[in-house]
Structure 1
Amino acid sequence: MTVTGGDSSLLRRLNAAAVLRALHGAESLTLTQLVRSIGVARATVENALAGLVEQSWVEEVAPVTDGARSVGRPAKRYRFRAEAGCVLGFDIGAHRILAVVTDLKGEVLGSRQTTVAPDLPAVERIAAARALGHRTLRGADLRAADVQAVGAGTTGIVDASGVVRLSSLLPGWTGIDLAAALGEPFGAPVVVGNDTKLAALGERWRGAATEARDVLYIHAGRRISAGILIDGRVHTGRHGAAGEIGDLQASGWPTAPGRLRGWSGEGQGDAEELFTAVQKGDPRAMAALERFADDLAQGIAAVILSVDPELVVLGGGISQAGHLLLDPLRRRLLRQCLFPVELVASTLGDRSVALGAVRLALDLVERQLFEVSARD
């Protein structure tokens, strides 16, 4: 952007945003370090700092000492006030709602969860999420007025405006404007995404995929679904339906969960019991696991061949089986894919969606703080 002499107000905002960005990326910086980092005059940085301190985004901190008496006046040092606000992240699912609150650098300040019934009406599910959000804030000694942004992950296809365009899992969920429903009680902007896609984002931020940029996340539980990151960003597609191959019979995913139910041949047995039986060498359990791995690998291979990721992260309740499931999956993917791809288990577990929602909300806050346009 070219800034002319008549753009003094815009220039001030650009300088303030540059100072704030530099401080946000560090624990603290001296005035001299800020001048060097931003590349503008000392007086310009001082003016920007004065405004940011007045707005409570920045504060001067005590100089760092090693116990020795310094000669001369100590350097002024400043830090970004991560406690100047907070963000809320929600995971709104069929059986549970989880809320996480963090400061503006992503430090978790508190979390709460509540159990809900799969057949709960949409209005009551939203009310439960709102109430849980307020309880989470109170537990961290925060108020709704402190919330700078809200992120939410939920099942279904979600468009860019935060409307659930299609959901077959939750009653009355199709057509819900979740952004509006969560924005009103907290008085903050809301960003919404599909839960599996946000789980992928959460794993890249704080979980098993921190070193990768192109990531495929597979949720394996009561249902199987995929979330894709390309160059570190959630890939949604035109309608928000990227990666939605779970209803495609040829993927193997519609039949896979059934392999883990009734594996004993008597209509009994769940996934946890199956994996326990596999450890004991039960032939029926081992055969059921092989069939499940066949189905699961077929869909995973199809997505791998489509997007060629660096890393595949397996999440959901079934991922807790660890090497019992990962090893047969690795063998199958090695046969079915053109190139080897690393497959690992989620390290965030059932927090991945909520933390992905937090990251989405933090991205929004950071854009508001650091990006300046001529129209502002």
Structure 2
Amino acid sequence: MTTAGGDSSLLRRLNQVAVLRALYEAEELTLTELVQATTVTRATVENALTALVELEWVTEQAPATDGPRQVGRPAKRYRFRSESGCVLGLDIGVHKALAVVADLRGTVLATRRTAVGPDHSPAERVAAARGLGHRTLRAAGLRAADVQAVGVATTGVVSAAGTVTVSGRLPDWAGTDLVAAFTEPFGAPVAVGNDCSLAALGEHWRGVATGHQDVIYIHAGHRIAAGILLGGGLHAGRNGAAGEIGVLRSSGWHTAPGRLLEHWGSPEALFSAARDGDPHAEQDLCDFTADLAQGVAAMVLTIDPELVVIGGGLSRAGESLLAPLRDHLSHLCLFPVEMAASALGDEAAALGGVRLALDVVERALFEVSGDS
């Protein structure tokens, strides 16, 4: 949408935004309900609706035919056209890329994944993610032209401009400009974030962190890493490196996953043995959670969060991991720590990418000046 100059055009835009926002936040509304929601005149709402229908952001709903028959003409009902476009969320990791396509209300339309490896070059990793994005769009019956925004989650430290600046697990990945890599193929704005940060955002949007404002997300798997939400929003820090406690070898995060997987091969094997009472498994689990707790405690004491979410492959152990971790934290922290296992599993970061993309769309929809 475009706003022309002058007070009258600004006022029209303000009214359109008010009507569009009311419809975006509701399933559907009548003209009378829109007047009440926007507190402007009926004629003003009608004019705004006419413009929004022409722009294909809003449509009039046909009257329901399965309910009781009404006397007189039914009230016109309008809704936001969530199908007028879509967003794409991508999670580009060391071993996999995952794509999620959602409509403009965030309803997931298709999810696809593909394997990548640590030996892939940056160009090969980007190409795999691009191809995956296009395949996921086709699975949803959509095209690149339908994409309104792309949200990309990736391993490593990401600058505000969307470039990977540090990547301990993929050293060649540093320097990759992900905004440039995905803007042209999908013809839409691109927003980028660290995968743990976007996993925290995903859990806040659709997972166990819904309703919590200050959240720490801990990825516990082949690596241990963290993401932070403050006031319900991402906290990346000045350089995008907030939560990178794993670089401190004294935290125990650097070597703990490797020792665990070297002994047991997989998290499932460890937790199965621990549940069966294997003393070696119980001791290894205790050692691992003790190492994990050191970094978690440092973050908890710094941020004092409402919730700590444990994600990554080890989160599938549930209370087998959470119970000993709580016990360690009870001796390290000043107050009890609320903890929960991830509800979104390995899709958390891609769904965080979807939410990040939706934020871009919403800013464009509801801005009052400039193009949208």
Output the TM-score relative to the length of structure 2: 0.96
- Contiguous gaps of at least 5 residues in structure 1: none
Q: Percent identity?
A: 66
* Partner-residue secondary structure (3-state), 2:173: coil
Letter in 1 for 2:320: L
Question: Deviations for 1:254-294, whole angstroms, at most 9, x for unmatched residues?
Answer: 1211341343xxxx643221111111111111111110010
Q: CA RMSD in A?
A: 1.5
Partner of 2:244: 244
1:119/1:171 Cα in 2 relative to 1: closer, same or farther (>3 Å)? farther
Partner of 1:261: 261
Matched, 1:26 2:26: yes
Matched, 1:349 2:332: no
1:262/1:134 Cα in 2 relative to 1: closer, same or farther (>3 Å)? closer
Shift of 1:64: 4.6
* Partner-residue secondary structure (3-state), 1:258: helix
* Match for residue 331 of structure 1 among 313, 320, 327: 327
Shift of 1:375: 9.0
CA distance in 2, matches of 1:348, 1:11: 42
Partner of 1:37: 37
1:292/1:8 Cα in 2 relative to 1: closer, same or farther (>3 Å)? same
CA distance in 2, matches of 1:100, 1:11: 37
Partner of 1:61: 61
Shift of 1:70: 2.0
- Contiguous gaps of at least 5 residues in structure 2: none
CA distance in 2, matches of 1:245, 1:21: 40
Divergent runs of 4+, >4 A: none
Aligned length in residues: 368
- 1:108-257 pair list within 5 angstroms: 108-257=108-257
Partner of 1:292: 288
Query: In 2, are the aligned partners of 1:202 and 1:357 still within 8 Å (CA)?
Result: yes
Partner of 1:318: 314
Shift of 1:349: 0.2
Question: Deviations for 1:79-109, whole angstroms, at most 9, x for unmatched residues?
Answer: 0000000000000001000010000000000
CA distance in 1, matches of 2:371, 2:223: 45
* Match for residue 281 of structure 1 among 266, 273, 277: 277
CA distance in 1, matches of 2:326, 2:204: 21
User: 68-77 vs 205-214, which deviates more?
Assistant: 68-77
Query: In 1, are the aligned partners of 2:60 and 2:76 still within 8 Å (CA)?
Result: yes
Output the TM-score relative to the length of structure 1: 0.95
Query: In 2, are the aligned partners of 1:246 and 1:253 still within 8 Å (CA)?
Result: yes
CA distance in 2, matches of 1:138, 1:61: 27
User: 357-366 vs 157-166, which deviates more?
Assistant: 157-166
Query: In 2, are the aligned partners of 1:10 and 1:374 still within 8 Å (CA)?
Result: no
CA distance in 1, matches of 2:311, 2:218: 6
Shift of 1:72: 2.5
